[in-house]
Amino acid sequence: MSLPDPHAASTHIEGDQSASSDSFLLFQSTILENVRDSVIVTDLQHRITYWNHASTQLFGYTPEEILGHTPDHLYPQVDEAQRIHDFQELYEQQEDVDEWQGRRKDGSLVWIDVKSTILRDADDNILGFLSISRDITERKEAEERLRRSQERYRLVAENVSDIISLVDLNGNWRYVSPSLKTLLGYEPGELIGTSTFTLVHPDELAVIQKGFADALAGQKVHTIARYKHKDGRWIILETSGIAIFDERGQVDRIVCTSTDITERTELEKRKDEFISMASHELKTPVTSIKAYTQVLRNRFQKRGDDETVHFLQRMDAQLTKLSTLINDLLDITKMQAGKITYREEQFQLDELVKEIVENVQEMTPTHRLQLTSEENISIYGDRDRLGQVVINLLTNAIKYSPGADKVCISVVRQDKQAIVSVQDFGIGIDKIHQEKIFERFYQVTDPLEKTFPGLGIGLYISSEIIKRYHGSMSFESEKGVGSTFSFHLPLQ
Ligand code: ADP
């Protein structure tokens, strides 16, 4: 068998050379010289007898340099034992496919995938061996990068105190980090393949199932639920979950991180109980001091002692502030425990706002309260609680605009909603704080600004009240320019 080179002599396999087979072999050789894969033929003595153009491009040797040599030095990492093993496989299976690291003429390394076949003549005698190779360095390097980054993630997952887990589309655990043992008492192997829902407290199962469905739909989810420890205790886990997708863009797994918040929740509960108890204890004496102040004021008024009456009035105003604060603290703890009571009735929202604006104006010498209001806006809800929201927005507007002299209030009906807005021209709120402003105990602290008294609970209570009536609260604010706080309530 002979393969004449169409351009230069690159083949030296001996055989007949009749005229007709010559043109066929030339045709074959032209193809072999133009394919992208490296094609190498070795004889029974393991010497290279054919070396195509792609082989020169892959390894850097010309046919003149390589023909007649063994290909061993092209594969420095394949030792004698491996070579014998590969030959045996080749004889048994007629074909061997492998991935090897090759060395180029300039010494650099290249990853190739090699397919080796035995070459036989018509009588089934072995003539030699054919290897077809392709450069797969890029793929190998990408695989290595992926392997290294997976290794890094694995190291992170196995060394954090949170549980990191992968959940499949049926809600079964596919991977759980070793911290599972510390947090829930199980070895990861005990849970792999079982449903994540089995350990969830029955009361919270619906929440977790909804969270799982939302995550499958591509949402980033956040849940808090109790999970049963192996020893029977309930552990509160705060979990964030997000879907990861396969190459076709389909959800493949949900990756979750779960933090044990049992202790934190217990502490918060104790703190709430303390606040609740302390404000209860404070409420009774403050109420009776306020009553005595009023009695005294009436007495001094009758005697015509205007100066003392004036002092007692100021004392009464401070006591009102104190009892508002105590009531807020009581409300917040009741809200946390879901124990707040509402007295619902039908009432005119515009009239309520007007009444409050007039009352607050009486006590506010610094600002003009300008009210524009539509009439006959009838609402069903707790008049006092909704009044509490209006008072909160108004007192904030006044408190946080010490350099201004007016606050604008509007009550309008729009798209089947009643909207109450309170606009001030005060210090405004920086963008970075805006997201958290409705959180419990959140106060903007800015070292450059004067500090304002307060506990950071008014807006939290207000938004909880508005939520109860299926409404919403919103605000627009610009630092140094002012803020507009609004609440929207659906009209029946
Ligand atoms: P606080 O009793 O501290 O006023 P709130 O819950 O009513 O508590 O308000 C939370 C925080 O939001 C306040 O501490 C303040 O930083 C900011 N804030 C509320 N209303 C305004 C406003 N009208 N202008 C600027 N900042 C405001």
Nearby residues of 100 by Cβ (< 8 Å), 6 or more positions away: 75, 77, 78, 111, 112, 113, 114
State the helix-helix crossing angle for 458-468 and 306-336, rounded to 10 degrees: 60
Regarding whether 271 and 216 lie in a shared domain, the answer is no
Q: Do the strands 234-245 and 221-228 form a parallel or antiparallel pair, or are they unpaired?
A: antiparallel
Do 225 and 204 lie in one domain? The reply is: yes
Same domain, 459 and 474: yes
Torsion of CA 324, 326, 328, 334, to 10 degrees: -140
Residue 411: CB atoms within 10 A of its CB come to: 22
**Residues, the chain, total?**
492
Atom 13 of ligand 1 has which residue's CA nearest to it?
A: 443
Residues 6+ apart with CB under 8 A from 13: 1, 2, 3, 41, 43, 49, 50, 127, 128
Does 352 share its domain with 484?
A: yes
Domain endpoint, select from 206, 237, 260: 260
> Could you tell me the CATH number of the domain that includes residue 171?
3.30.450.20
> What separation in Å is there between the alpha carbon of 358 and the centre of ligand 1?
22
CATH code, domain carrying 297: 1.10.287.130
C-alpha distance from residue 14 to each of 11, 50, 71, 325 (Å): 9, 11, 19, 105
Nearest CA to ligand 1 atom 25: 428
Closest protein CA for atom 3 of ligand 1: 456
The answer to whether residue 151 sits within a structural domain is no
484 and 416 fall within a common domain: yes
CA separation for the pair 26, 30 (Å, rounded): 6
What residues line ligand 1, using a CB cutoff of 6 Å?
Answer: 392, 396-397, 400, 424, 426-429, 437, 442-444, 454-460, 483
The residue to which tokens 């080179």 are assigned: 5
Q: What is the pLDDT of residues 333-356, one digit of tens each?
A: 888 778 888 899 999 999 999 999
Residue 354: which CATH number?
Answer: 3.30.565.10
Cα distances from 295 to residues 121, 271, 307, 315, in angstroms, run 123, 36, 16, 13
Mutate which of 367, 394, 400, 479 for ligand 1? The one with the most ligand atoms within 8 Å of its CB, which is 400
- CA pair distance 490, 492, nearest whole angstrom: 6
Q: Is residue 91 part of a domain?
A: yes
Tokens 């009456």 belong to which residue? Answer: 309
Range of the domain at 233: 160-260
Choose one of 85, 118, 135: the last residue of a domain.
135
Strands (E), 399-491: 406-414, 417-423, 472-478, 482-490
Residue 149, domain member (yes or no): no
Q: Are residues 483 and 417 in the same domain?
A: yes
Verify that 252 and 313 share a domain, yes or no: no
CA distances 160 to 156, 175, 238, 243, Å, are: 6, 15, 15, 21
In a domain, 153, yes or no: no
In a domain, 44, yes or no: yes
In terms of Cα–Cα distance, which of 460, 467, 430 is closest to 445? 430
Domain boundary among 69, 100, 135: 135
Specify if 393 maps to a domain.
yes
pLDDT 10s per residue in the chain (492 long)?
334 343 443 444 444 445 566 777 777 778 888 889 999 999 988 899 999 999 999 999 999 999 999 988 888 887 888 878 887 888 888 888 889 899 999 999 999 999 999 988 888 888 889 999 999 999 999 999 999 988 988 888 888 899 999 999 999 999 999 999 999 999 999 999 999 999 999 999 999 999 999 999 999 999 999 999 999 999 999 999 999 998 898 999 999 999 999 999 999 888 888 888 898 899 889 999 999 999 999 999 999 999 999 999 999 989 988 998 898 888 888 887 788 888 999 999 999 999 999 999 998 999 999 999 999 999 999 999 999 999 999 999 999 999 999 999 999 999 899 999 999 999 999 988 888 889 888 888 776 566 777 788 899 999 999 999 999 999 999 999 999 999 999 997
Residue 96 and residue 172 in one domain: no
Same domain flag for 380 and 464: yes
Q: Both 328 and 397 in a single domain? A: no
Distance of alpha carbon 240 from alpha carbon 254, whole angstroms:
10
Question: What is the whole-number distance in angstroms between the Cα of residue 310 and the centre of ligand 1?
Answer: 30
SS3 call for 323: helix
Domain count, the chain: 4
User: In angstroms, rounded to a whole number, what is the distance separating the alpha carbons of residues 242 and 225?
Assistant: 17
Prediction pTM value: 0.59
